[in-house]
Structure 1
């Protein structure tokens, strides 16, 4: 992250941008992005899984190879696409989303727009553009460019349709010691801001599938997934795992800025689950 900018403030104001200015990237912004995705440190997740991010320049939705890249009319005038690639495995997806969202926040800090896309694009067109290695697939992409200053009507309408500004309250998402007791902000101790950043994070169709349990000793935060029934099954992968990786990035970036020292671990605490949909423990953050 840029040293002179607050990741917390960036995460608060970032929103999905679907309408872009026709202005091309400046040389310096293009160079910064190329350097970011070329750095191996930026592509490796907390447990060592590594994804790949390819930068594709386009003009009128056509790449330099002459391939028309399809986003079903949702995106207007993007200058580039950042295309993610990883293995279709649980922790590969989780860690990939973690690293990809850090890129999204970095782009936002540069004044560039982004829009997480997991289902509303033509995978076939992007697979023809990029050479996939064995075992790789494209879980998501983001267009990027300079946001159009006058937001389009369709952009605002789409935000309304997906309820993009309607986030669930704390008592539906975060819990104190067990799923029986909702977590009150005043009891979140030093984790209040990192947990709020989780709440504000983007998710597919704004479903917000993350559920967090703060341990009674306030040393660990356990992340669970509450699946939306039949969501993304037609895509052949669990898109909602990406949402958990996004929240991990939001949480860690806030902790880093607040100098809360900790690390990610996979150690199921064995907490009784509240229902059949909250069926999966994912990861925990523990204080050092």
Structure 2
């Protein structure tokens, strides 16, 4: 149990869990999850879009309805799945990822492991279990359960393949005033920790598509995405937008924990962009 552990500690130590113990999720944790996802305020992101999160317990990957959920062999012994449902549009996807990541980090405090999945699962199998609704789809899911301490060789190999432990350095991701000036950690001052939480956050294939520009007066932080061309076109949506919602969540939770008061806005600073793949999405402004 780690209920009292800080969000920054959780984010710093978190890793994707793909092999779980066969121990069922405890009733107290089961109840917590149900209450959390039934509370509408927990499902609305910073831009006001409401997502759905469904909780599906499984035994041997089979639901109560007898439907076998498919994850292509990546996951072993999941005790349940959390399934996200939203619109296939830019800001609903970002809002979904924000609220989903916030829940996953909260579950980490109870010792419940998880693993973001945006492409390596059978959407059709999950759609058989749930009523999705017109105009919505499943952008991402997470198996959950209590992590097995001894990882499978498969897990370790997969981490190496996606370079999950090899995060890009500050100078490749973060900038000061313009994209021509890299941001030094000590220059970020009070925003150093929130920006670092973005850097270490999970992302699809560890691509880390976020690019942040700290304003000259250090009161605003502008978030850009550097799209990887054709990365997720086969899935029918831009999976890297989920990465941006995760980054947004990590940054916001860190700010809240260390007492930085601020808010999200969409106010493009109209900077000269470094590549054609770079796109402005949103900004964080510190309250004076």
TM-score exceeds 0.5? yes
How many corresponding residue pairs?
Answer: 286
2:145 matches 1:145: yes
Q: How does 1:43-122 map to 2 (within 5 A)?
A: 43-122=43-122
Q: How does 1:146-225 map to 2 (within 5 A)?
A: 146-225=146-225
CA distance in 2: counterparts of 1:168 and 1:99, whole angstroms: 25
- Three-state SS of the structure 2 residue aligned to 1:63 is coil
Deviations 1:234-263, CA, capped at 9 Å, x for gaps:
100000000000000000000000010001
1:77 Cα offset (Å): 0.3
Q: How does 1:235-274 map to 2 (within 5 A)?
A: 235-274=235-274
Q: Which residue of the partner structure matches residue 12 of structure 1?
A: 12
1:4 Cα offset (Å): 2.7
1:281 Cα offset (Å): 0.4
- Three-state SS of the structure 2 residue aligned to 1:62 is coil
1:3 Cα offset (Å): 7.5
- Three-state SS of the structure 1 residue aligned to 2:282 is strand
- Three-state SS of the structure 2 residue aligned to 1:86 is strand
- Three-state SS of the structure 2 residue aligned to 1:11 is helix
TM-score computed with the length of structure 1 as normaliser? 0.98
Contact kept in structure 1, 2:7 and 2:253, CA below 8 Å: yes
1:277 Cα offset (Å): 1.5
CA distance in 2: counterparts of 1:24 and 1:201, whole angstroms: 28
Residues 178 and 52 of structure 1: CA distance in aligned 2, closer, same or farther (over 3 Å)? same
Q: Which residue of the partner structure matches residue 284 of structure 1?
A: 283
CA distance in 2: counterparts of 1:192 and 1:104, whole angstroms: 23
Deviations 1:182-218, CA, capped at 9 Å, x for gaps:
0000100100000000000000000000000000011
CA distance in 2: counterparts of 1:107 and 1:130, whole angstroms: 23
2:22 matches 1:22: yes
CA distance in 1: counterparts of 2:274 and 2:24, whole angstroms: 50
1:286 Cα offset (Å): 0.3
CA distance in 2: counterparts of 1:139 and 1:210, whole angstroms: 19
- Three-state SS of the structure 1 residue aligned to 2:175 is strand
TM-score computed with the length of structure 2 as normaliser? 0.98
Q: How does 1:222-233 map to 2 (within 5 A)?
A: 222-233=222-233
Deviations 1:136-176, CA, capped at 9 Å, x for gaps:
10000000000012111111111111100000000000000
**Bigger shift: residues 122-131 or 3-12:** 3-12
Root mean square deviation, CA, Å: 0.9
Consecutive unaligned residues of structure 2, counting only runs of 5 or more, are none
CA distance in 2: counterparts of 1:149 and 1:205, whole angstroms: 23
1:5 Cα offset (Å): 2.3
Consecutive unaligned residues of structure 1, counting only runs of 5 or more, are none
